[in-house]
Amino acid sequence: MSAVPAGRFAAVAFCPQPPLLVPEVAGRAAEETAAVRRACRDAVEAMLGARPEVVVVVGGGAPEGVRFGAGDSGDLRGFGVDREIPFSGPARPDGRRLPLAHTLGAWLLDGAGHGGARIGVGPADLSGVLTTLSGAVGVLAMGDGSARRTLKAPGYLDPAAEPFDGAVAAALEAGDPAALAALDPAAEQWLLAAGVPTWRAVGAALSGRRVAGRLHAHEAPYGVGYLVADWSVS
């Protein structure tokens, strides 16, 4: 992964990807995720405030070389909610199925009222797609922190999980692309930190750029790190 030429990036929103972000999925627990949901809304609105001509949603689960766009869609049926979420425009029967990260990314953009152009990619394709775009680009980076923050976490407790997420939160708040790019790739498996490939890709693409960061949330309500931030890029 390499840095993207100046002028492409305008802003980035970093959001987690738990299905519980969607109130219908959370059900009675919706109030427990309300603060993270508000933080995501604020971060996405800040990114859109830079007036990007296109928003690139980057997250795990996308096959390398695939770009999601018009007609593609995801759903929440695996989480007990019969809801289809188109990525861009109406879903088509022959459209690709979205990974969870891109499904929730589309849901966040819809909630922020963004009706403009969208492209969905995996981390390995971020720099490549950015170099093909002209004008201002916004990035919605989807990914969770460690799923080993507590004894009841999906991956059980690992004492290294909280310091790892803390280091990511510090990098996001400081607007430090180099720190994100330098994250240990093994942490994705070791600490069950699904956001690592996405964070590394964003950091690498912004190498050498001036970034102002703002951290909106750093929580772990279910033993999984949820980090929310926005970056403005100059």
What are the residues facing 212 on neighbouring strands? 232
Please tell me the total count of domains within the chain: 1
Structure tokens at 16: 């987690």
Tokens of 111: 């909630």
Q: Is 1 within the bounds of a domain?
A: no
Q: What is the pLDDT of residue 1?
A: 56
The parent domain of residue 48 ranges over 9-233
Is residue 3 in a domain?
A: no
Residue 2 counted as domain residue? no
40 band by pLDDT with thresholds 50, 70 and 90: very high
149 belongs to a structural domain? yes
Residue 181 lies in a domain: yes
**What are 116-156's pLDDT values in tens digits?**
999 999 999 999 999 899 889 999 999 999 999 999 999 99
What digits encode the pLDDT tens for the residues 53-86? 999 999 999 999 999 999 999 999 999 999 999 9
Given the DSSP bridges, would you call strands 84-86 and 73-75 parallel, antiparallel or unpaired?
Answer: antiparallel
Residue 213 has pLDDT above 70, yes or no: yes
In a domain, 104, yes or no: yes
pLDDT of residue 27: 87
Q: Which of 28, 45, 172 is nearest to 108 (CA)?
A: 45
Q: Give the separation between CA 209 and CA 12, rounded to whole angstroms.
A: 13
CATH for 215:
3.40.830.10
> What's residue 5's pLDDT?
59
185 assigned to some structural domain = yes
What pLDDT is recorded for position 224?
Answer: 95
Residue 101 has pLDDT above 90, yes or no: yes
> What's the half-sphere exposure (Cβ side, CA atoms, 13 Å) at 85?
22
Please tell me which residue, 89 or 194, carries the higher pLDDT value. Answer: 194
**pLDDT reported for residue 75:** 96
Rounded Cα gap, residues 187 and 176, in angstroms = 19
Question: 3-state SS of the chain?
Answer: CCCCCCCCEEEEEEECCCHHHCHHHHHHHHHHHHHHHHHHHHHHHHHHCCCCCEEEEECCCCCCCCCECCCCEEECHHHCCCCEEECCCCCCCCCCECCHHHHHHHHHHHHCCCCCEEEEECHHHHHHHHCCCCCCEEEEEECCCECCCCCCCCCCCCCCHHHHHHHHHHHHHHCCHHHHHCCCCCHHHHCCECCHHHHHHHHHHCCCCCEEEEEEEEECCCCCCEEEEEEEEC
Q: Report if residue 206 sits inside a domain.
A: yes
